[in-house]
Every structure is written in structure tokens, then in C-alpha cells.
């Protein structure tokens, strides 16, 4: 980034700010696909893969066990989209922070 003009860095930062998704469309975590066995004797799940797929949102926090929340089939695409938006937003914020650090290193206004 050192070779890029400060004005260009500010333009890129402004473009990233405009592209940031709405916070309402963000969701942090991972989507887990699971197959479960029902426990009924003679059910096909006892010898096969299991019933499913069933989807769960897994959220890990430091010092705590991961939380798992069931995701209904009807909400699956919305959850996938919100997870992707979170990852995209996280990458954009990292780039904005890198631009700000470079401007600060140059002793210029943020």
C-alpha cells in the first residue's frame, strides 16, 4: 500500500464504506449439516446415513462451549446469505483498517 497515493486510498475506503451490507443482513457463525438417528429399531437410519440433512448454526465464543441453533429449511438460504455477508463485511473492514493504518503511518488525516 505504500506505493498508492493517499487520495486513491481514501477513494477506495469510501467505496468500501458504500458497499458495506446492512447490519440487519449479518450473521456470525458456521452452518453445520447433520444427519441424526432416531433410535427406532428397524428404521433405515439405524444402518444408513441418518435422517436429514438438518442444519444448525454454530457460534463459538472464547471460553465457552459452541452454541448450536436449529435452522429451519425455510430459513436456510437467508442464513447462508447472512453468513456470507458477515464474511464479506469482515474482509471489507480489514481492508478499511489497513487503509487507515497506512494513512496514520504517513501522518495524514484519517
pLDDT > 80? residue 19: yes
Q: Total structural domains in the chain?
A: 1
Q: Classify residue 13 as exposed, middle or buried by CB count within 10 Å of its CB (0-12, 13-18, 19+).
A: buried
- The model's confidence at residue 106, banded by pLDDT at 50, 70 and 90, is very high
Q: At what angle do helices 76-105 and 6-19 cross, to 10 degrees?
A: 160
Q: Is residue 110 part of a domain?
A: no
Q: Determine what percent of the chain is predicted with pLDDT higher than 90.
A: 79
Calculate ∠ Cα 55-22-71, nearest 5°. 10
> Which domain range does residue 96 map to?
6-105
Residue 2 has pLDDT above 80, yes or no: no
| Structural domain includes residue 45 | yes
Q: Are strands 67-71 and 51-59 parallel, antiparallel or unpaired?
A: antiparallel
**Chain segment 70-91, per-residue pLDDT in tens:** 999 999 999 999 999 999 999 9
Does residue 42 lie in a domain region?
yes
The string of pLDDT tens digits covering residues 34-49 is 999 988 888 888 888 8
Backbone angles phi, psi at 87, to 5 degrees: -65, -40
In a domain, 1, yes or no: no
- Specify if 62 maps to a domain: yes
Amino acid at each position: 500500500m505504500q506505493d498508492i497515493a493517499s487520495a486513491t486510498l481514501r477513494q477506495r475506503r469510501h467505496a468500501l464504506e458504500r458497499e458495506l451490507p446492512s447490519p440487519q443482513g449479518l450473521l456470525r457463525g458456521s452452518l453445520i449439516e447433520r444427519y441424526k438417528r432416531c433410535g427406532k429399531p428397524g428404521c433405515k437410519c439405524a444402518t444408513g446415513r441418518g435422517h436429514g440433512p438438518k442444519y444448525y448454526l454454530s457460534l463459538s465464543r472464547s471460553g465457552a462451549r459452541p452454541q448450536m441453533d436449529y435452522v429451519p429449511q425455510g430459513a436456510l438460504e437467508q442464513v447462508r446469505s447472512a453468513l456470507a455477508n458477515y464474511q464479506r463485511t469482515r474482509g471489507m473492514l480489514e481492508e478499511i483498517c489497513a487503509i487507515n493504518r497506512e494513512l496514520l503511518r504517513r501522518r495524514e488525516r484519517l
